Structure 1
Amino acid sequence: MDQTKLNTLNCMDWKLLPPATDEMIERSMRVKGRFMGDPSHEYDTISVKKNEEEMASLELKVKEEERLTATIEQINREAAIVPRGAFIKTPLEQIHKNRSFGGLSVTEAGKLQSYLHFTEPVILKKKSQLLQANLEDSVDFLNSLEDDELKG
């Protein structure tokens, strides 16, 4: 699903961020440290570990705007959640927005099982056949937040 990502410096003027590419994400993940707050700021030289004993200095130009876009994309890939029923899966394995979804009821909105991770399912395949029998194939194709195990 396409999302619009905007950036602002003064909360009045908004600018559209460029879409994240895999190359942009790979380059941006090499930059360490805090954001500078200036979208035009360029990070210059980045040290890259070639192997265990050798450090190489690689000249990469990464703009802060690209790094911000890549960071947002990584967060969305790892932590995006959607309400149960907001998306459906067709028999051809395509995922579409459910046009008939009108939102969760007040009681359903308070339940953890009403929300799904919008990422590639992992736990779903590990459920027993008895638990899988109660699932709706077109709606329950993602992992539920109810299945999450808290660490720490």
Structure 2
Amino acid sequence: MDVRQLPVNIGYLNHAGIALSAEERTCLQAGFDACRFKEGFHTLKFWGIIHGINAKYYIVQGLQEDPLKPRITLYSKDYAHWARLPSVTDEMRRKTRHVRGRFTGDPSFDFEYCYRKPNFKANDEDEHGNDVLTERTSLKEEERLAATVELINHEVEVMPRGYLRKSAKDEVKPNPMWQGLSLEEALLRSNYYHANPKRMRKLTAMVPPRNVPAIDFLESIEDAHSKPWWLVRGYRGSTVVTLRSLLWEGYTFFMVPDSRTFGSFYSGYGERNLDVVHMLPCPVAIDAE
């Protein structure tokens, strides 16, 4: 959510169990102003909170005019001092998928784990008789934090239909003519798109009648295989609609019908819910890797 609307927008998330104390709101607002002035971001977004065992990570992201372009992510544990997360590499992504367990709250902490090597058969041994099927390696918590934020963004971050507009030059910008979704539209999962440039809608012979290439260029959560992982609910007499993820428990998207007010927030442990298949009425495959 936009940090400039934090005092108002955080109230829309109370039904999802997300709240900030008066001290957190005051200190964070001061920290956001200093961070935005120092970094010179076009838009500063309060991404969310990852709860570690000994401390919390408050996370913000600096957005460009095109919300789908790469972002700069910063974190803080004391509201005042903000540090940039490292750029995510393929090795960090691979290691993060193997690590299990909660964050500790110490960015310098090393997670050690064993993983199964590819292209080796069971019971293979080296010249010293040691098992070569597995290998022990480590990953710093700061690197895991960066990769986890990116993974959550890629898998569950959504935006409402029509908010983004794609020009003939393939430039993506917020649509100034968009006035929000009606209540009926906001309650339909087909009106929420993955905010991920790698999940563009595929062109097929069966094009939906309402398809408008300028705004329907992203994959809808209704079209994706992740459809059962979302819960849509209306609160406050349906004056607020929320979309909650079961895959990343703690991610909540909110929207006020018939207005341009919407946002998302993550508040959780930073762990993918691999048991989501047991929470659904029918079996759904999930990639644990």
Q: What TM bracket, shorter-length normalisation?
A: 0.7 to 0.9
Q: Which amino acid aligns with 1:57?
A: E
Q: What is the alpha-carbon distance in structure 1 between the residues aligned to residue 210 and residue 181 of structure 2? A: 20
Q: Which residue, 201, 210, 217 being the options, matches 1:134?
A: 210
SS in 1 for 2:143: helix
Is the alpha carbon distance of 1:108 and 1:91 closer, same or farther for their aligned partners in structure 2, counting shifts above 3 Å?
farther
The number of aligned residues is 146
**Match of 2:104, SS?**
coil
Code of the aligned partner of 1:79: V
**1:114 equivalent among 178, 191, 194:** 191
TM (normalized to structure 1)?
A: 0.74
Structure 1: any 5+ residue segments left out of the alignment? none
Residues 162 and 178, structure 2, Cα contact 8 Å, conserved in 1: no
- Residue 104 of structure 1, aligned match among 170, 173, 180: 180
Contact 2:165-2:175 at 8 Å conserved across structures: no
Instruction: Pick one of 67, 82, 92 that aligns with 1:14.
Output: 82
- Residue 53 of structure 1 is aligned with which of 122, 125, 130? 122
Deviation at 1:127, TM superposition (A): 7.6
Which residue pairs with 2:162 in the alignment? Answer: 85
Q: Is the 1:117–1:143 contact (alpha carbons within 8 Å) kept by the matching residues of 2? A: yes
Task: Determine if contact 1:87/1:95 at 8 Å carries over to the other structure.
Answer: no
2:192, 2:88 → 1: CA distance?
26
5+ residue gaps in structure 2? 1-68, 124-132, 229-279, 282-289
C-alpha deviation, 1:145, in angstroms: 3.5
Matched residue type, 1:48:
Y
- Return the alpha-carbon distance in structure 1 between the equivalents of residues 77 and 161 of structure 2: 35
SS at 1:36 equivalent: coil
Decide whether aligned partners of structure 1 residues 68 and 138 sit closer, same or farther in structure 2, where only a CA change above 3 A counts: same
The counterpart of 2:106, out of the listed 38, 43, 46, is 38
